[in-house]
C-alpha cells in the first residue's frame, strides 16, 4: 500500500503523513527531504541556484522512485500533483489523500517560517494570504482528483480514524 499526501504548501502534509504512517505501521517518505538529499541543497537554494524548472524535474524523478517502495506514506510538495499529470501517476500507484487546510491557518504557518517557503519570500502577511488564494484557485481543480479528502479547519489535530477507515476501504477494493 502506498499513500500519497497532497495539499497546499504549509498545510501540514509532512506532519499528517508521519502521524498516518505511525498509526498504520507504514514507513514515511517526504519528497522534499528526498530532493534535498539528492541535490545537497535546500529547496530554497535549489530554486534560487537552478530555477523552478530544475526543481520540478528533480521532484518528478524523486516521485517516480517512490513506486519502488511498498507499504509507505509519501508526503509530496504542494505543486507535485500539478506538474506532468503527476496526480494521475500517484492515483495509479497508490491512494491519494488531499489535506485541505484553511488558507488562514496556512498563511499563519508560512509567515512564522518564511525562509522555508521560496514561493513566499519577501512577502508580508496580506501578500502571503493573497498569493495562497491565487495558488489554491489554480491547484484546487487538480487536488480534487484525490481519493480521500481531509478538511482541516482548526489548529487542533485531525482525527486519523475516519481517514484510515477510508484508506482501508479503498485498498480492499483494489484502489
Q: Copy the grid coordinates of residue 153.
A: 479547519
Mind listing the pLDDT tens digit for each residue in 100-125? 999 998 988 888 776 667 778 778 88
Q: For 11-20, 33-42, 73-82, 120-129, which range has the lowest pLDDT when averaged over its residues?
A: 120-129
Sorted by sequence, the CB contacts under 8 Å of residue 167 that are 6+ apart come out as 1, 3, 24, 95, 97, 148
C-alpha distances in Å from residue 134, one per residue of 120, 127, 148, 151, 157: 12, 11, 23, 19, 26
Q: What pLDDT is recorded for position 30? A: 97
Which residues does residue 150 pair with via DSSP β-bridges, in sequence order?
A: 99
Write the DSSP symbol of residue 124: -
The third-level CATH classification (topology) of the domain covering 2-156 is Rossmann fold (3.40.50)
pLDDT value at residue 168: 76
Rounded to the nearest angstrom, the gap between the alpha carbon of residue 107 and the centroid of all alpha carbons in its chain is 16
Strands (E), the chain: 2-6, 27-30, 72-75, 95-101, 148-152
Burial label for 145, CB within 10 Å (0-12, 13-18, 19+), is middle
This prediction's pTM: 0.90
pLDDT at 12: 87
What pLDDT score was predicted for residue 44? 87
Choice between 99 and 165, residue whose per-residue pLDDT is larger: 99
pLDDT (tens digit, 9 = 90+) per residue, 128-163? 899 999 999 999 999 999 999 988 877 665 667 777
pLDDT at residue 50 greater than cutoff 90? yes
Cα R_g (the chain), whole angstroms: 15
- Higher-scoring residue by pLDDT: 76, 84: 76
Amino acid at each position: 500500500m502506498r499513500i500519497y499526501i497532497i495539499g497546499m504548501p504549509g498545510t501540514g502534509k509532512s506532519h499528517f503523513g508521519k502521524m498516518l504512517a505511525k498509526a498504520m505501521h507504514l514507513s514515511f517518505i517526504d519528497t522534499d527531504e528526498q530532493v534535498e538529499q539528492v541535490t545537497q541543497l535546500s529547496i530554497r537554494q535549489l530554486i534560487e541556484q537552478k530555477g523552478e524548472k530544475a526543481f520540478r524535474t528533480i521532484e518528478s524523478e524523486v516521485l517516480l522512485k517512490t513506486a519502488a517502495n511498498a507499504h509507505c506514506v509519501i508526503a509530496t510538495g504542494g505543486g507535485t500533483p500539478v506538474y506532468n499529470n503527476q496526480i494521475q501517476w500517484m492515483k495509479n500507484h497508490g491512494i491519494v489523500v488531499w489535506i485541505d487546510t484553511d488558507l488562514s491557518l496556512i498563511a499563519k504557518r508560512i509567515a512564522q517560517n518564511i525562509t522555508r517557503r521560496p514561493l513566499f519570500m519577501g512577502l508580508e502577511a496580506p501578500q502571503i494570504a493573497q498569493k495562497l488564494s491565487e495558488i489554491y484557485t489554480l491547484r484546487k481543480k487538480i487536488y480534487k482528483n484525490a481519493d480521500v479528502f481531509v478538511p482541516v479547519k482548526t489548529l487542533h489535530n485531525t482525527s486519523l480514524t475516519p481517514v484510515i477507515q477510508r484508506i482501508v476501504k479503498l485498498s480492499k477494493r483494489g484502489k
